Amino acid sequence: MYWIEYYQNVIQHFCLHLFYIHIHQVTSTMLHVLSLASSSDHDPLKDFLVKKASVLEEWLKVLSLSLVTTSTKTEVESNGSTRNEKREMICKAIRSLIEVYKGRKHDAITRKFEKLEKSIN
């Protein structure tokens, strides 16, 4: 019976690890795409980003909060460069969105994202 429980735990941890990797890849891809948005000439894309500004703002806030939540000092030391890379990816995406919102003359949205960017740095 012990071995069955052991292997169930191993499989469960393995599945959770795969799920985490998948979520990380999706998040990284989304941040990369957003960082390129301001260089696009595709107006429907920019209109879509304006419509989804509140969703993007909340999502980026959650990602930003994940930068400051650490469980141990060792984790901070071992993941310092990863955390800096993540912060830079988030900031690039926010800067790109700021440019989109400025170009679309959405000053209130622009200010929200500028405030968010300052809170990360």
Tell me, what's the pLDDT at 71?
A: 44
- Give the whole-number percent of the chain exceeding pLDDT 90: 55
Tell me, what's the pLDDT at 36?
A: 93
Mean pLDDT of the chain: 85
- Looking at per-residue pLDDT, the higher value among 117 and 19 belongs to 117
Ordered alpha helix ranges (H), the chain:
2-36, 43-51, 53-68, 73-78, 80-103, 107-120
For 33-90, how does the pLDDT look when each residue is reduced to its tens digit (9 = 90+)? 999 999 988 899 999 999 999 999 999 999 998 887 644 444 555 556 678 888 999 9
51 is written with which tokens?
């419509």
Nearest to 103 by CA among 32, 29, 30, 42: 42
